[in-house]
Amino acid sequence: MRNRSRLALLSFVLIAGIGVALAQNQNPETTQPKVPAPDITGAWTGTWGVYNPAQGTTPPKDICKKLDAKVERKDDVWEAVFEGDCGRPYKYTIKMEGRQVGKAVMFKGTVDLGAKDGGVFDWIGRANDKEFIGFFTSSFYTGTFNLSRPQAETK
């Protein structure tokens, strides 16, 4: 009787081990080739605007259309310097948490821009080699930004 119990236990362990091995081999993360990370460092330019989500059919209002950014990679985080003019010049340096998903980097963050600039903002974004877009909220504003690589100057 003991031998049957041992044999049954050994069979169960072997079958379970084979099942785990098969499941690991079918994991999409291990079977798909790694996609190279997009290069999102460097200069970006675009616009940002605010809107009311309750009025979804009304397009965002560009309150300070011009937005320039420079993105650098520092260790495991990106750092972006956003700069423009909205009645007065502004310049913010923001650390961005990001992770690669396919051919894009997904970002998220929270930043306090100070009382005169809207306070605390939460935002999410996505960047690839050509486009950096996002959505932001604060206690005063909701909006989007859309950046692309600047056009090369022709001489």
What are the residues whose beta carbons fall under 8 Å from the beta carbon of 122, sequence distance 6 or more? 109, 110, 136, 137, 138
Choose between 24 and 16: higher pLDDT.
24
Strand partners, 44: 69
DSSP-based three-state secondary structure for 76: coil
Q: How far apart are CA 107 and CA 57, in angstroms?
A: 26
Q: How far apart are CA 86 and CA 118, in angstroms?
A: 13
Place of tokens 């999102």: 40
Choose between 106 and 58: higher pLDDT.
106
125: pLDDT strictly greater than 90: yes
Where does the pLDDT of residue 148 fall: very low under 50, low under 70, confident under 90, or very high at 90 and above?
Answer: very high
Q: What share of the chain is helix, strand, coil (3-state, %, to 5)?
A: 20, 45, 30
Q: What is the pLDDT of residues 55-88, one digit of tens each?
A: 777 776 666 768 999 999 988 789 999 998 877 8
149: pLDDT strictly greater than 80: yes
17: pLDDT strictly greater than 50: no
